Amino acid sequence: MRFADILGHDKPVSIINSYIEANSFSGGFIFSGPEGIGKRLVAQMVSQKLNCSAVDKPCGLCESCLKIEKLVHPDLHIIQNGQGQIKIDDIRGILREANFRPYEGAMKIFIIDDAHKLNPDAANALLKTLEEPPKDALIILITHKPQNIIKTVLSRCKRIKFYPLARAGLETVLLKDYSLDKLTAHFLGFYAEGRLGLALKLKDSLGLTQKNKIFDSFVLSTKPLERNLMEQNKDQLHDCLNILASWFRDIYLLKAGLADNEIIHLDRKHDLLKLLSKFSFKQLDDIMAAISESLLYLERNINNKLLLHNLGAICRVI
């Protein structure tokens, strides 16, 4: 894959390239933009480019590039902290390591994922390193909530904004760079709404077979939907409801006469077309509203009885 056209993020990549050419891609940077669009992947690619030993960087093949890809390069440090805050203990390593010379590469790179989770103590401790960054250290803060990062940290970093790819653009990237077949690339590109990171995450867990299984067992099955849904655990139910919403969205849009290639489930267009006469627009509106409401209940851990009642209402329409 060439760095110039990675992941379709042409604009941020060209800004990064101009910093690298000017030899000023060091110190603090913030990669901001919606969740799951590939900011972290770009940060890793940049790390490869800065440390690659080939002429055409990043080659993706040299020892340095491979170590970075496997996240085992001694000069690449990634800080992330799941659900909780990023505390001072989590970044102490950066504060110490940043002062040493790189072990193997040309640059030491610190990637702080979900940087909006830095608690005030950690953010303040980071400030000093951001104020006087060593020349061979790069700190990349990745965030989809830059407004939650303290102003003093924001003001010491150069900001690079990322945007979701157009859905069709993501489909092309998945086809070309990830060698997916056309129907899978279309589904993931459209279902993930242009968010590359999400599409790549779903690539392994939600292929055509899995998402079609949800359609077949919930929409086309004679078994009551309600029972089908209540057999799932919370995460499965969450995925099922989202997939179901996308099926009904497609039925709605096809019924409204939208171009076929705008639907998510292009691979099952024929089955969807057969369902158009089964639902009125009002019924489709009600089903989609009930699904969103159920998702909300699920997120708020509202008791199953209410959720069940709501799903039952959807089932009666289906």
Residues that bind Zn ion (CB under 5 A): 52, 54, 58-59, 62, 65
Q: Pick between residue 54 and residue 296 the one whose CB is nearest to Zn ion.
A: 54
Least separation, in Å, of the C-beta of 41 and Zn ion?
16
Nearest to 245 by CA among 278, 219, 220, 223: 219
Degrees (nearest 5) of the Cα angle 4, 50, 46? 50
Q: Pick between residue 65 and residue 241 the one whose CB is nearest to Zn ion.
A: 65
Least separation, in Å, of the C-beta of 88 and Zn ion?
34
Q: Pick between residue 62 and residue 175 the one whose CB is nearest to Zn ion.
A: 62
127-158 residues labelled b (16+ CB within 10 A) or e (exposed): bebbeebbebbbbbbbbbebeebeeebbebbe
Q: Pick between residue 59 and residue 219 the one whose CB is nearest to Zn ion.
A: 59
In whole angstroms, what is the distance from residue 89 CA to residue 91 CA? 6
Least separation, in Å, of the C-beta of 108 and Zn ion?
17
Q: Pick between residue 58 and residue 102 the one whose CB is nearest to Zn ion.
A: 58
**H/E segment holding residue 159:** strand 158-161
Least separation, in Å, of the C-beta of 61 and Zn ion?
6
Segments in 148-264 forming alpha helices (H): 151-155, 167-177, 182-191, 196-205, 208-214, 225-230, 234-255
Least separation, in Å, of the C-beta of 54 and Zn ion?
5
In whole angstroms, what is the distance from residue 86 CA to residue 80 CA? 7
The DSSP string of 26-41 is -EEEEEESSTTSSHHH
Least separation, in Å, of the C-beta of 63 and Zn ion?
8
Q: Pick between residue 52 and residue 288 the one whose CB is nearest to Zn ion.
A: 52
Tokens standing for residue 6: 């990675």
| DSSP classification of residue 217 | I
